[in-house]
């Protein structure tokens, strides 16, 4: 975001939103499995953590919306000619050697 701005980093931001929410939910789910029946008591906040992690996956936009925006961006990069794709990514093209 610092170099490309919000618009330029939107694909990376969407990817981070998907991965971070899924990872948090997976870690909390594993902790719940480790604690077993103790997770049902008020001694551990795991049930609350799991509910919050699940809410974050919905509140910040469903994963499918983020995945669709990533897919659209990647498909548009693949569909453009190589010189235009390099310009989109910020790559510099080298002149062919004679």
Task: State pLDDT tens for residues 42-57.
Answer: 778 888 888 888 888 8
In the block, residue with structure tokens 């469903």: 62
CATH number of the domain that residue 69 is part of = 1.20.140.10
Highest mean pLDDT among 19-28, 34-43, 72-81, 84-93: 19-28
- Please give the full DSSP string across 3-39, using - where no structure is assigned: TTHHHHTHHHHHHHHHHHHHHHHHHHHHHHHHHGGGG
**96 domain-assigned:** no
For the chain, how many structural domains are there in total? 1
**25 domain-assigned:** yes
**79 domain-assigned:** yes
**84 domain-assigned:** yes
**98 domain-assigned:** no
Q: Whole-model pTM above 0.75?
A: no
pLDDT at 74 over 80: yes
Q: Which domain holds residue 43?
A: 5-89
Q: What are phi and psi of 50, to 5 degrees?
A: -65, -40
């Amino acid at each position: 975001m610092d170099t490309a701005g919000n618009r330029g980093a939107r694909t990376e931001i969407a990817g981070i939103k998907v991965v971070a929410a899924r990872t948090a939910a997976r870690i909390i789910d594993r902790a719940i499995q480790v604690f077993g029946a103790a997770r049902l008591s008020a001694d551990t906040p795991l049930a609350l953590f799991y509910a919050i992690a699940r809410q974050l996956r919905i509140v910040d936009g469903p994963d499918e919306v983020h995945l669709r925006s990533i897919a659209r961006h990647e498909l548009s990069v693949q569909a453009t000619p190589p010189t235009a794709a390099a310009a989109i990514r910020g790559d510099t093209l080298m002149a062919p050697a004679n």
